[in-house]
Structure 1
Amino acid sequence: MPLSITHPIFIRETLTGIIFCLLIYGVVFAFPLLGVFVLLFLPLPVLFYRLKLGRNSGLLIAAVSFFILVLMTKGVAFDTLYFGLLLATGMVLGECLERHISIQKTMGLTTLMAAGVIIAALMVYTISQGRTLSVIMTDYMNQSLSIAKQLSPEIGMDPDMTQKLISSMMIVMPAMFMVSFMTTLWMNILLIRKLLTRKGIMIKSIEHLNLYKAPEMLVWAVIGCATALMIPLGPVKIVGINCLIVLMLVYFFQGIAVVSFFFQQKNTPMALKGFCYFLIAVQVYVLILVIGLGFFDNWIDFRKLSASRK
């Protein structure tokens, strides 16, 4: 039975969750380079206390943390909206996991929620600013590059190179956002599973993540996106390349699930697993190999093949 919001334990634990969120803010603002990685875990305090204490605790942590963020930044901007989205993500994940919704549906529903919120927020923001979205995004990316140059003065780019980089990034910006968001989702699901396992709590929908498999219909989406790249129409190509990048991430998740499955089957030492995961993270060719492994798993079914051999 959920605790009352006036219960001392509820108050103490909820305040702890808010403090964790504020610590993440502090790292992000004080150490921007490190903050890029720390920000991945912003949904975790909301998610953890949502599952531990109930919906009221999660809502309080998300709402109070966002309110403090607005006070800190003295307004609402892109970064503020994204932080708020991550806080809301913790709540949505908590709702899905409590209802034992499958991992595929959890990822899909949360991603669609995020896309809808971002589109609506951008529409409101552009109207309030009286500028087009492309102008706002270009200004934002110019500011981001300026900050990057200040943090790393050795980075030198002439104005033409900078504009080309911004133009290229504008094309794949939707896909980059979705990749970042979906990676954040996956990382928080992995972490909450670890935390719950240590407390002896098992959630069936995330108990066997190394059996994850993307919906089979996505294969046709990959084929369609690859075909769109060959059509000599700019908007069609832009949609195709953005969708293809997101789909590659989905198959990366499936590929890494296959790798994790074989590590578990072979009782691979932790040091060797860590080295292999590091290699996947830093070597592009190994990363592509894992994506291919996930894609062709739809036909070959490596995990079933291994089980049948045993």
Structure 2
Amino acid sequence: MPLSITHPVFIRETLTGIIFCLLIYGVVFAFPLLGVFVLLFLPLPVLFYRLKIGRNSGLLIAGVSFFILVLMAKGVALDTLYFGLLLATGMVLGECLERHMSIQKTMGLASLIGAGVVFTALMVYTIGQERTLSALMTDYMNQSVSIARQLYPEIGMDQDMIQTLISSMMIVMPSMFMISFMTTLWLNILIIKKLLKLKGITIKSIEHLNLYKAPEMLVWAVIGCATALMIPSDPVKIFGINCLIVLMLVYFFQGIAVVSFFFQQKNTPMALKGFCYFLIAVQVYVLILVIGLGFFDNWIDFRKLSASRK
């Protein structure tokens, strides 16, 4: 039975969750470069206390933390809205995990909700600013690059190079957002699994993440997106390349699951596993290899999942 909002344990745990969110804010604002990585874990306090104490605690942590953020930022901007989305994501993940949804459904539903919220928020924001979305995002990119150059002046880039970079980023910005958001989902699910395990709690839907497999129909989506790149139409090509980038992340998750599966089967030492994961993170060729491993797992079935199901 959920605790009453006046119960001392409820108050203590909820305040602890809010403090964790504020600490993440502090790191993001004080150390912008480090903050990019720390921000990935903003949904975690909401998710953890949502599962531990209940829905009311998660809602209070997300709501109060967002209200404090608005006060700190002295208004609502694109960055503030993204922080709010991450806080709400903790609640969405908590609801999905409590209902024991499969990892595929959890990731899919949370991603669709996130994309829908961002699209709606951007439309409302652009109408309020009386500007086009393209102009708004271009200004945002220029501002971000300007801040980065001020913080790290050793980064030598002339104006032409900056404009080329911004133009390229504008093309793939939707997929870059989805990659960032889906990676955030995956990391928070991995960490909450470890935290709950320390508490002696097991959620069956995320117990065996190394058995993850993308829906087989996505293979046709990859083929369709690759075909779209050959069509002589810029909007179709942009749509195709953005979808293809997101699908590559999905198969990266499957490839990592295959790698993790064999690490577990062979009882690989922690040091060797850490080195291999580090190599995947920093070497683009190894990263592509893992994506290929996930994609071809649909036919080769490296983990023999089909046989085990039968």
Q: The TM-score by the shorter chain falls in which range?
A: over 0.9
Gaps of 5+ in 2: none
CA distance in 2, matches of 1:67, 1:305: 46
Give the AA of the match of 1:195. L
Superposition deviation, residue 10 in structure 1: 0.2
Q: How does 1:227-238 map to 2 (within 5 A)?
A: 227-238=227-238
Structure 2 residue 162 is the aligned partner of structure 1 residue 162? yes
Structure 1 residue 147: deviation in Å?
1.1
- Secondary structure of the corresponding residue to residue 202 of structure 1: coil
The aligned residue for residue 57 of structure 2 is: 57
**Matched AA of 1:64:** V
Q: Which residue of 2 aligns with 1:182?
A: 182
Q: Deviations over 1:96-123 (max 9, x none)?
A: 0000000000000000000110010001
Offset of 1:16 from its aligned partner?
0.2
Please provide the CA RMSD for this pair: 1.1
1:227-271 Cα offsets, whole Å, 9 max, x none, are 001111000000000000000000000000000000000000000
Following the alignment from structure 2 to structure 1, what is the Cα–Cα distance between the partners of residues 222 and 76? 37
Q: Within 1, Cα distance between the matches of 2:40 and 2:62? A: 15
Letter in structure 2 aligned against 1:281: A
Q: Report 1:8-87 matches (<5 A).
A: 8-87=8-87
The runs of at least 4 consecutive aligned structure 1 residues that moved more than 3 Å come to 305-308
Alignment partners' CA distance in 1, 2:31 and 2:307? 46
Aligned to 1:132: 132
Q: 1:147 is matched with which residue?
A: 147
SS of 2:65's equivalent in the other structure is helix
Paired residue type of 2:67: F
Q: Say whether residues 1:295 and 2:295 are aligned partners.
A: yes
Of residues 134-143 and 146-155 in structure 1, the stretch that sits farther from structure 2 once superposed is 146-155
Q: How many residues align?
A: 308
**What is the DSSP-based 3-state SS (H/G/I as helix, E as strand, rest coil) of the residue aligned with 2:4?**
coil
Q: Could you say what secondary structure the match of 2:299 adopts? A: helix
1:269 paired with 2:269, answer yes
Letter in 2 for 1:286: V
TM-score, normalised to structure 2's length?
A: 0.98
- Once structures 1 and 2 are overlaid, which stretch shifts more, 299-308 or 226-235? 299-308
Given the two structures, how large is their TM-score scaled by the length of structure 1? 0.98
Following TM superposition, by how much is the alpha carbon of 1:305 offset from its aligned partner in structure 2, in angstroms? 7.4
Tell me how far apart the structure 1 counterparts of residues 165 and 305 of structure 2 sit (CA, whole Å). Answer: 44
Separation in structure 1 between the aligned mates of residue 199 and residue 161 of structure 2, nearest angstrom: 52
Provide the C-alpha distance between the structure 2 equivalents of 1:249 and 1:206, rounded to a whole number of angstroms.
19
* Distance change in 2, residues 1:307/1:216 (3 Å): closer
Partner of 1:195: 195
Cα distance in 2 between the residues matched to 1:176 and 1:128: 25
Mapped to 2, the partners of 1:127 and 1:213 lie a distance apart of 40
Indicate the SS of the match to 2:304.
helix
Identical aligned residues as a percent: 89
